[in-house]
A and B are shown apart, each in its own frame.
Chain A
Amino acid sequence: MNARITFAVAGRVLTQVRRDHRTLAMLLVVPCVLISLLWWMFDDLPGDMFDRFGPALLAMFPFIVMFLVTSVTTLRERSSGTLERLLTMPMGKLDFLMGYALAFGLLAAVQSALAVAVSVGLLGLDVNGPVWLLGLVAVVDAVLGTALGLLVSAFATTEFQAVQFMPAFVLPQILLCGLFVPREAMPGVLEVISDLLPLSYAVDAMQELVGRADEREVWRSVGVVAGFAVASLALGAATLRRRTP
């Protein structure tokens, strides 16, 4: 690992995103609009439906968005030859991966800060735990999305295919994360599968913060998400090869 190279990659990725105004706007504005839409949808209904669904949505945004953005950008990096060139230079695989994780982690921090500010400040989401912890869960979650995006980009040869990994990898996690049906109420097999999927733990952490706010439980869930992120980064590193056939 080399800090200079890692920061060079992170800085470059951020410059690319900054230059792409439309992507930047989508990254930052769309989550705020969607969470407001969710609040508005439940506005006339009795009970605290927004408090039930809001946290899960806050967990999903950074994950989905970073998964998509990373899988497409790294695929471009593979197909344009820049990755091959970088790997003939003194670029470690981890430098490359950590650079991406750092850049998208930072973007996720800004994105979640905005989404959390809108949810808590404007829409009255009740958070019983510390609000900063909500932001931290979102960042870890974004790093997980980045790590998985890097990993699946190795198995796609076109941007079309990369985008198709979104329904294949992400939608099942959304269905099984406990948002629609509490995880313990699912059929046994699905509950086991849900226990194996990282997004379930991200949603658990968010819901815990809004509900009982047992910080130990939150940290346990964040730990599991971080573990998944590290494992995917390691697997992703294995897919980066200096020598290709």
Chain B
Amino acid sequence: MMKNIIEVRDLVVVRGSQEVLPGISLDVTPGVTGLLGPSGCGKTTLMRALVGAQRLRSGSVEVLGEPAGSAPLRTRVGYVTQAASVYDDLTVAENLTFFARVLGVERSSAEEVVASVGLADHRHQVVGRLSGGQRSRVSLAVALLGSPEMLVLDEPTVGLDPVLRRDLWGLFHRIADGGAAVLVSSHVMDEAERCDRLLLMREGRIIADGTPSEIRTRTGAADIEQAFLHLVEGAAA
């Protein structure tokens, strides 16, 4: 049994009058875990809870043995929001240097992470003039600074070309091979097969949890999209 990097117990999150997470529990172990589900199912809210940005109603969220969002975790967790959270009026290198100083990591690691997301040739370009996919990779590079033990990536591959997508998934697996937990959300079911483990989510609940092949076998479906439909329709029947 691998040790859990994330432990969520009976988490309830209410936004406005809506109960977005009505009492969710889950564990995440090292490796690449895909959090898959349609838009609006609560993926982003769950991820915000994991990094300590979300106000909680009740329940507990533990990351690396500490309460999520507590001070010791702030250098050990990397987080990429859906929108590229970087400064558009700075160059790629300036963005990375700034965040590296905030985190207290070496300047050289700023150059490494730029290379690892394939932006070495664009180092001195202003982020605002890059394409959408390039901007989100700058945002990803920031999350990689300081080799975090947990990476929370909210739809990092949306809108990227297939070659780049494959390269990024390769990068996620290399990071996970180093012992980190990489949690990647996506609303595109065809990314499922690239994950070591899947959490299928719908309406604030986890409806399936296992390796892609386990989930396919259990539901007798040909692919994860079919499995998802099977699970939803099975629950409704």
- Mark A residues whose CB is within 8 Å of B: 4-5, 7-9, 11-12, 15-16, 19-20, 80-82, 84-91, 242-245
Asked whether B94 is an interface residue with its Cβ less than 8 Å from the other chain, the reply is: yes
B101 and A4 form a contact (CB under 8 A): yes
B55 touches A244 (CB 8 A): yes
Which single member of B69, B75, B77 contacts A242 (CB below 8 Å)?
B69
- Number of A-B pairs, beta carbon distance below 8 Å: 79
| Shortest beta-carbon distance from A9 to chain B in Å | 8
Most B CB within 10 A of own CB, among A5, A19, A88: A88
Main secondary structure on chain A at its contact with chain B?
A: helix
Inter-subunit contact A245/B101 (CB<8 Å):
no
* Inter-chain contact B55/A88, CB cutoff 8 Å: no
Chain B CB within 10 A, most for which of A9, A86, A91, A242: A242
Chain A residue at minimum C-beta to C-beta distance from B69: A242
Tell yes or no: B115 within 8 A of A by CB: no
CB-CB under 8 A from A15, the residues of chain B are 90, 94
| Smallest beta-carbon distance A25→chain B, Å | 16
Distance between Cα atoms of A107 and B83 in the complex (Å): 30
The 5 A-B residue pairs with the shortest CB-CB distance, nearest first, are A81-B85, A8-B101, A85-B85, A243-B55, A90-B74
Which residues of chain B (52-108) have a CB below 8 Å from chain A? Answer: 52-56, 69, 71, 74-75, 77, 79, 81, 83-90, 94, 98-99, 101-104
CA distance A242 to B74 in the complex (A): 12
Show 21 A/B contacts (Cβ-Cβ < 8 Å), sorted by A.
A7-B101, A8-B98, A12-B87, A16-B87, A19-B89, A19-B90, A80-B88, A81-B84, A81-B85, A82-B87, A84-B53, A84-B85, A88-B53, A88-B74, A89-B102, A90-B102, A242-B53, A243-B53, A243-B55, A243-B56, A245-B15
Return the chain B residue nearest A241 by Cβ: B55
Say whether B51 faces chain A, with CB atoms less than 8 Å apart. yes
Expressed in whole angstroms, the Cα–Cα distance for A245 and B126 within the complex equals 32
Given A15-B90, A80-B83, also A88-B15 (CB < 8 A): no
CB within 8 A of A84: which of B81, B86, B104? B81
For A96, give the chain B residue with the smallest CB separation.
Answer: B102
Q: Does B6 contact A (CB under 8 A)?
A: no
Give the residues in chain A near B51, CB-CB below 8 Å. Answer: 88
Residues of B within 8 A of A (CB): 15-16, 51-56, 69, 71, 74-75, 77, 79, 81, 83-90, 94, 98-99, 101-104, 126, 142
* Nearest A residue (CB) for B103: A89
Smallest CB separation, A26 vs chain B (Å): 16
Task: Report chain A residues within 8 Å CB of B104.
Answer: 4, 90
Bound: A185/B94 CA distance, A: 53
A13 to chain B, nearest CB (A): 10
Judge whether A90 and B71 touch: CB under 8 Å: yes
Residue with the highest number of chain B CB atoms closer than 10 Å, among A4, A87, A243: A243
**Cα distance A210–B75 in the bound complex, in angstroms:** 52
Q: How far is the CB of A245 from chain B (nearest CB, A)?
A: 5
Task: Take A243-B54, A243-B55 as given contacts and tell me if A88 and B77 are in contact as well, using a CB distance cutoff of 8 Å.
Answer: yes
Are the C-beta atoms of B102 and A91 separated by less than 8 Å? yes
Residues on B with beta carbons closer than 8 Å to the beta carbon of A8:
98, 101-102
Q: A80-B83, A80-B85, A85-B142 are in contact. Are A243 and B101 (CB under 8 A)?
A: no
Whether B98 lies near A81 (C-beta < 8 A) is no
Not counting A12-B90, A12-B98, A80-B83, a sample of 8 additional A-B residue pairs whose C-beta atoms are within 8 angstroms of each other reads A82-B86, A84-B81, A86-B102, A90-B104, A91-B102, A242-B69, A243-B55, A245-B15
Q: Which residue of A lies closest to B95 (CB)?
A: A12
Chain B hits for A86, CB < 8 A: 102
State how many angstroms separate the Cβ of B109 from the closest Cβ of chain A: 14
* Chain B residue nearest to A17 in the complex (CB): B89
CA distance A43 to B135 in the complex (A): 54
A87 — which chain B residues lie within 8 A by C-beta? 53
Chain B residues near A242 (CB, 8 Å)?
A: 52-53, 69
> What is the bound-complex CA distance between A86 and B85, given in angstroms?
9
- Of all chain B residues, which has the CB nearest A23? B89
Q: What residues on A are CB-neighbors of B71 within 8 Å?
A: 90
Q: Which residue of B lies closest to A81 (CB)?
A: B85
Q: In the complex, which residue of chain B has the Cβ closest to the Cβ of A84? A: B53
- List the A side residues contacting B81 at CB < 8 Å: 81, 84-85
Pairwise interchain contact A5-B102, C-beta atoms closer than 8 A: yes
Contact assessment for A244 and B102 in the assembled complex, using a CB-CB cutoff below 8 Å: no
Whether B98 pairs with A244 at a CB distance below 8 angstroms is no
Among residues of A, the one whose C-beta sits closest to the C-beta of B71 is: A90
